[in-house]
């Protein structure tokens, strides 16, 4: 049992310091440490509550002096379940978001998460047994906490890509909980057995837990990146189609000539093959010119249409680029594309000037989603366009 506890210590600390904190810091930066400390603080308070509930009231006696302690599960057993639930919610969000990109990406992510979880769950099972759970209760608790991944997946389908924005903070909180449980609860358990032989076995078990987590970094580094086959990808630094420094648009470009502007987010074009198409600008949503049965334009609809016409004069040569994370057409049969005139990204300009809102089609994260949302927030705070005129 102590071998499993040792493995759990190594797996929890390895997961926190090798995986969760570095991944969270890529987005959170210097504030990652605050989120980790917050996670540790939350689990400190949670454990205090469990101790008060366990002993009915606070007292100064040690656990060994408590007559009824052996009849109850020790608090760190429940802590490991709560921490697992938090971590598995994050895993559920990651898996579901990957499936929205493609089935292949979803399967690859699921396999990576499963390999990541196995060594930790093995250690957690031993911790639950050591905390006083029976084998059956420990197994049920482990499975139940693992099912919380479906909660994370559900968040993706309910609120779409907004759920992905929670991943860095939740990962840092989970890291804090893992560090607290390992350092405050499990390491003291190992110190209760002071014989040299036991200590060496425990130390080796901790090393095994850390090595397993470290070994996963090689799998993650060597795993091939799965990208849908979408044709030519613009990767050169001088390409006009890499205006967003964070994202690459992996899509096949199509030349077109503007025939006219329908409204603030829809245009009519003639393609290179001579065919005519309606194009819905991807990642944005402008006020409707014909909203509802009364055909009354929405607030700022005429201004939004004129803003698009100002950027795109009739007869302009355009470049249309689809996005591999999105459908090629919407439910009305319109092409979904980023529109460029020269080096100007039209979709980006409209959001920046407050002539359109950021819009995530079918809750699928797309290449420019982060930058578009940032531009919308700036336009909103600066009271540009529709944000100054519409409630």
Which residues are catalytically annotated? 280, 288, 334
Residue with tokens 């032989």: 197
Residue owning tokens 């992996």: 250
Residues 6+ apart with CB under 8 A from 337: 254, 279, 280, 281, 282, 320, 321, 322, 323
CB-CB contact of 323 with 336 (8 Å): yes
Separation between Cα atoms, residue 390 and residue 299, nearest integer Å:
6
Task: Give the ranges where 160-300 is alpha helix by DSSP (H).
Answer: 167-180, 187-191, 196-222
Q: Which residues contact 348 (CB under 8 A, 6 or more apart)?
A: 243, 244, 368, 371, 372, 375
Q: CA 71 to CA 80: how far, in whole Å?
A: 19
Cα gap 137→166, rounded to integer Å? 31
301 Cβ contact partners less than 8 Å away, ≥ 6 residues apart: 263, 264, 286, 287, 288, 289, 291
Which CA distances in Å does 237 have to 231, 234, 346? Answer: 18, 9, 20
378 exposure class (CB count in 10 Å sphere: 0-12, 13-18, 19+): middle
């Amino acid at each position: 049992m102590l071998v499993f506890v040792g493995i759990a210590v190594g797996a929890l600390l390895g997961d926190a310091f090798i995986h969760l904190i570095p991944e969270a810091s890529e987005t959170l930066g210097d504030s990652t440490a605050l989120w980790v400390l917050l996670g540790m603080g939350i689990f400190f308070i949670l454990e205090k509550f469990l101790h008060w509930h366990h002993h009915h009231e606070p007292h100064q006696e040690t656990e060994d002096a408590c007559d009824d302690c052996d009849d109850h599960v020790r608090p760190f057993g429940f802590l490991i379940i709560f921490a697992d639930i938090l971590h598995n919610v994050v895993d559920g969000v990651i898996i579901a978001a990957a499936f929205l990109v493609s089935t292949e990406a979803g399967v690859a992510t699921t396999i990576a998460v499963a390999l990541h979880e196995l060594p930790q769950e093995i250690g957690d099972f031993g911790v639950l047994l050591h905390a006083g759970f029976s084998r059956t209760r420990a197994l049920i608790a482990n499975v139940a906490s693992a099912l919380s991944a479906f909660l994370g997946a559900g968040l993706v389908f309910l609120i779409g890509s907004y759920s992905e924005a929670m991943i860095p903070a939740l990962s840092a909180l989970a890291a804090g909980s893992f560090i607290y449980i390992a350092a405050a609860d499990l390491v003291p358990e190992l110190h209760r057995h002071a014989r040299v032989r036991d200590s060496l076995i425990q130390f080796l078990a901790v090393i095994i837990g850390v090595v397993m987590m470290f070994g996963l970094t090689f799998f993650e580094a060597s795993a091939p990146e799965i990208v849908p086959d979408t044709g030519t990808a613009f990767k050169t630094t001088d390409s006009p189609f890499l205006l967003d420094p964070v994202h690459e648009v992996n899509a096949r470009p199509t030349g077109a000539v503007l025939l006219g502007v329908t409204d603030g987010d829809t245009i009519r074009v003639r393609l290179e093959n001579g065919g005519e198409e309606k194009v819905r600008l991807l990642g944005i949503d402008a006020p409707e010119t014909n909203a509802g049965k009364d055909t009354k334009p929405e607030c700022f609809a005429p201004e939004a249409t004129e803003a698009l016409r100002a950027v795109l004069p009739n007869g302009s040569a355009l470049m249309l680029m689809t996005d591999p994370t999105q459908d090629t057409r919407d439910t009305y049969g319109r092409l979904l594309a980023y529109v460029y005139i020269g080096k100007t990204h039209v979709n980006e300009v409209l959001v920046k000037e407050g002539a359109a809102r950021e819009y995530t089609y079918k809750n699928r994260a797309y290449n420019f989603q982060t930058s578009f949302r940032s531009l919308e927030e700036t336009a909103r705070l600066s009271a540009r366009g529709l944000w100054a005129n519409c409630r």
